[in-house]
Structure 1
């Protein structure tokens, strides 16, 4: 157990703050500090107030942490107060780390470290080393985390053994993860001895847990079990529910590995009961996984699948790609800043050349006055004037070139940011919306392989799989069409085709889904209703609208597809008698946001891209798309195609 998890994480931050030379913010003083801030002059005292207010919100309102720290950094910079800037950079890093922006947090921690070392503030340096190490742990760079925890430990040792408990515990956990078990045992044993001597039950429990993990990894199960039992006993006494569940989950894993599935199930249920008192999704997910393994080992595949679904649902809710996105954003930001720096260098070079030109001309003028007669002076001045014009022309040309380069780079910057947003949207959709149907299909195939379900369940599951795969295929097609349109634009190919025939073909593709929900689809468009448009694009629009109508209709509802001409356009409508929409839902309907998507009448899911894609395709035809709906009375979607 490392000091960046659960209550242990909070204890690690406490250690860091105890040796800090900065302001020790107390929550009860916030009102007093705010009053003092309004009356404070822009000096070092005001910088310290910003730090104190920022620090007071650690672990709470992160927006307040970042706001106060930003103001503190700006004021410290303006008055040259390096120590105040270091403290506010530290607080800025803590706020960004709390938001999961670990690259940004490390950037500010390193700035704080540079200033603290420059000012020889050893206590503050130890503070920053610990925070940097925790950020690297969260970012997955264990080697760098060990390096900075060792630096923090060397400083902590100067403050006495009591200050070394947290870095020792953290180092024992990290060395366990890297397979350096001898070092890990050394640090954990030392941390345990110091914690017991100080009467520190909390850190004693963590050190005991870490020792159990080391003995588990080195196949000493009996020793591991003894340390786990003692850690669990202490955690219960001090009401550390996180620690209790860590121990219960670990003991349950040992039981699974030994084939004692019933005992593992009991321990996992105890862990879940304990977690009802707190909120820790990762510990809950681990307990669900152990229950899945236990029931699978007992041959109870139905319960195994149930807990596997619980685990997957929880995993999906906490799944996050922000770390990779932050790294990509940091790289893009670096490239853009480098280009902006090149612009600044060009502008600086231009100014230097202007000064050099002015100085050279002045020297030549003075030299000419000294050696040339007054009669030649007029000719020299004319010549000098021509030279000045040439120099000014060159300067103007260079300035124009620099401005062109700057505009080009800024345009590239905007384009890169836009492409990055498109990439993020595609990755996010693939990561979140494809995972659940594929995982469910995989679980069903496992049950088929084991012949663990009867024929009735099998038929119902096959029907559900068909609906899930059909929805996923349509999701893929929408995503690819939308991505292609966003990245390079779609080239429409208008042809003359029969809309009624296209609708009949589309109805055939969704007939099974409609039949399963007992929904009737009626094509009211007369045969040979010809229009000129891109047939594939109109097919995508119709299929999305009909699929949406099925999604939000109830059993025995009906869907009607009609067409009529109006002025210089054709209007096609898809009407359902389903559940309808509120005015608030209609406002964000075509935004393309994942938040705009809602579950259907049978909990069908979507990406939010379908209607946004329909709008883009219709607008590229020069038409419009809109909806009329009353909550509880169904919806009618209309789109128009100009008559060519």
Structure 2
């Protein structure tokens, strides 16, 4: 893990800065004409809060809320923007990504409104960093690029070097080490030229992390030792803790567990003075691996579980992945195969999520964009040179009329060619945009397909493979294996149900599914599905009630409606606790039937309801008995209902159950005469 550059050093001789700012606040408050509208007072509140970003107390949020309130009362836009930036940092440290992004976005808008480019640069750096933490590398790099352009334009060398370093971090996270090293070295060189040894040390720390991952331990140790000396000199505690952790990681990669633990313990001492959960995750997991290497399983498990708890708290998937693998090895060594299998499944699921290459493609596209922009700059330069040459010919033509005429003809001819080229370029651009839209649609379909396969099929299959491997290797007895049979059966049923939905959805996406309407009795279709799902209902003691009358005739594609009903009943069973009830009913309207599937389950909030039918949603949840979903069923239901000229919606409230409604056309006598 590389450490992101903040907009300014958070922990630079923190106590001195804190004391100094506190004295300024007291001196302002002591004035006879003191007012909370004083912009100096508001700025000092914001800066003091910023200096306490990594303070274990909530001083940052308390001071920032005051500053935000006073700024709005005084209509002081810069103070409001700074306060929103600090609030974003507070929520970022808590792992509350959505709230952090919302505050940063508002802060940037205000900085634009008051035309303060240096303030905007500070916020852009934090804004992009938050997208990096959220795993949206495409948006992160886009904001970093915007920041570098602005930094060059206004000549802000300090933030320009930080932005370069953070772009290096993006490429490092994609294991594109060569590109990352280019950015780090460029930022380091820039800081050396300006005599900024602290930011130069930050570049060296991240270079050390890269070299450690590349197993170039000599370069890693050289860079980390150089950075530690600078951070100790200036007391930059957060970066010093990170450098200690890097040194521990370098020894760990070399299996020198005792020295790894020595530096991890140095890092741990610093973390007692700062509040940095993201940095603590790698530290704790590194300590767990070191103790495991030394054979101290108890301490290894303690630190791995602590790291996993923090990773879950701040929603950090990379941390969960590393901890799950460590705990898998620990439980396997203790012959706790059930626990080992559970952690292996967690590791597999998180690994599949992280391996999706959507963000990597975004980086590749943006890298292409950078190359394209560079080519455009070169083209503009060539055009300017050509224009200068043409101007020279024009002046020369004044002396010789003949040359003037020739030059005029050449220019005229060149303009005609240029128009043709421009027109051709415009046509090619239109074709390219059209193809890009088509490619994006295909990529979205493919991404969704592989996402579902990765999340909902690979996990159960991986669990089965691991169990069979353990049985074959003699790690578990046949009697122990039989205990897993009910789980394996549920997994196979889940795979079968998911494949059925997947094939149906795939046909609709590839335009292979044709809707063939016919008249059929809805009550019979519902009865068949109740029989099919009766065993699941019986296992949870849920009553399935079919209230649909015998004369409910529908004009739709029977196979597609069969999928809709099966998914909705299955979904209702999934979220209904034991001894509950699921009711299927149909009410006759003017020209259609309104069908309902109502359960007495756990219900859902409005936020969840809004996400249910989104076209690109493949959100997977677990039922009241930990049943797995497909992540596809409801969006598939929506497509099928709409293909049959109906509509679907949901009504629900937490703890009051859920009811899904959808409409289908009535079967009319005139329909029967249509061939």
Equivalent position of 1:510 in the other structure: 533
1:59 maps to 2:83: no
The 8 Å contact of residues 7 and 126 in structure 2, kept in 1 or not, is answered as no
Shift of 1:562: 7.6
Under a length normalisation based on structure 1, what TM-score does the superposition of the two structures give?
0.66
Deviation at 1:112, TM superposition (A): 4.8
Q: 1:147 maps to which residue? A: 182
Query: Structure 1 residue 246: deviation in Å?
Result: 4.0
Distance in 2, Cα, partners of 1:448 & 1:119? 66
- How far the C-alpha of 1:629 sits from its partner, in A, is 8.5
The one-character-per-residue Cα deviations of 1:357-407 (angstroms, maximum 9, x if unpaired) are: xxxxxxxxxxxxxxxxxxxxxxxxxxxxxxxxxxxxxxxxxx999999999
Q: Which residue of 1 aligns with 2:338?
A: 302
1:604 to 609, 621, 627: 627
Alignment match, 1:382: none
SS of alignment partner, residue 3 of structure 2: coil
User: In structure 1, the residue corresponding to 2:2 is in which secondary structure?
Assistant: coil
Distance in 1 of aligned mates of 2:528 and 2:238:
68
Q: 2:129 aligns with which of 97, 106, 120?
A: 97
Which stretches in structure 2 are left out of the alignment for 5+ residues?
Answer: 18-39, 48-66, 91-99, 381-421
Spell out the pairing of 1:39-438 with structure 2 (5 A cutoff).
59-60=89-90, 61-69=100-108, 72=111, 85=117, 88=120, 91-100=123-132, 101-110=136-145, 112-113=147-148, 122-158=157-193, 159=195, 161-162=197-198, 164-198=200-234, 203-233=239-269, 235-236=271-272, 246-257=282-293, 259-269=295-305, 282-283=318-319, 286-308=322-344, 323-324=359-360, 326-327=362-363, 422-423=445-446, 425-434=448-457, 436-438=459-461
Alignment size in residue pairs: 562
Counterpart Cα distance in 1 of 2:647 and 2:349:
38
1:504 to 1:445, Cα distance in 2 relative to 1, 3 A? farther
- Tell me by how many angstroms 1:260 deviates: 4.7
What secondary structure, in the 3-state scheme, does the structure 2 residue paired with 1:640 have? strand
Query: How far has the Cα of 1:540 moved from its partner?
Result: 1.6
Q: CA deviation at 1:296?
A: 0.8
* Bigger Cα Rg: 1
Q: What is the rounded CA distance, in whole Å, between the counterparts of 2:481 and 2:594 in structure 1?
A: 40
Contact 1:581-1:629 at 8 Å conserved across structures: yes
Matched, 1:3 2:39: no
Rounded to whole Å, the distance in 1 between the matches of 2:248 and 2:610 is 56
1:494–1:535 contact (8 Å) kept in structure 2: yes
Hey, what does 2:28 align to over in structure 1?
Answer: none
User: Of the candidates 637, 640, 643, which is equivalent to residue 664 of structure 2?
Assistant: 640
Q: Deviations over 1:11-57 (max 9, x none)?
A: 87778xx9xxxx997652765995799689xxxxx9xx898678656
- Which of structures 1 and 2 has the larger relative contact order (alpha carbons within 8 angstroms, sep 6+)? 2
2:511 aligned partner: 488
1:297, distance to aligned residue in structure 2 (A): 0.8
Alignment pair present for 1:579 and 2:609: no
Give the whole-Å Cα distance in 1 for the aligned partners of 2:191 and 2:199. 5
Residue-by-residue CA offset, 1:414-459 (whole Å, 9 max, x unaligned): 666655655554455444444554454445445544463775x756
Corresponding residue for 1:463? 486
Conserved 8 A contact 2:128-2:144: no
Structure 2 CA distance for aligned equivalents of residues 451 and 174 of structure 1 = 38
SS at structure 2 position matched to 1:464: helix
Aligned partner of 2:52 in structure 1 is none
C-alpha distance 87-420 of structure 1, shift in aligned 2 (>3 A)? farther
For residues 529-554 of structure 1, the C-alpha deviation after alignment (integer angstroms, 9 at most, x for no partner) is: 98765332232233224323433455
After superposition, the Cα gap between the structure-2 partners of 1:210 and 1:512, relative to the gap in structure 1 and judged at 3 Å, is: same
Q: What TM-score results when the alignment is normalised by the length of structure 2?
A: 0.64
Determine the structure 2 residue equivalent to 1:613. Answer: 636
RMSD: 5.5
2:313 and 2:589 map into 1 onto residues whose CA distance is: 63
| Structure 1 SS opposite 2:167 | helix
Alpha-carbon distance, 1:224 to partner: 3.5
Asked whether the 8 Å contact 2:68–2:80 carries over to 1, the reply is: no
Secondary structure in 1 matching 2:664: strand
CA distance in 2, matches of 1:286, 1:301: 19
**Alpha carbons 2:617, 2:635 under 8 Å: kept:** no
Does the C-alpha gap of structure 1 residues 108 and 627 become closer, same or farther in structure 2, counting only changes over 3 Å? closer
Say whether the 8 Å CA contact 1:545–1:637 is kept in structure 2: no
Question: Match of 1:173, SS?
Answer: helix
Q: Is the 8 A contact 1:212 1:223 kept in 2?
A: yes
Q: Which runs of 5+ in 1 are unaligned?
A: 41-45, 77-83, 346-398
Deviation at residue 184 of structure 1 after TM alignment: 1.3
Question: Relative to structure 2, which stretch is displaced further, 292-301 or 161-170?
Answer: 161-170
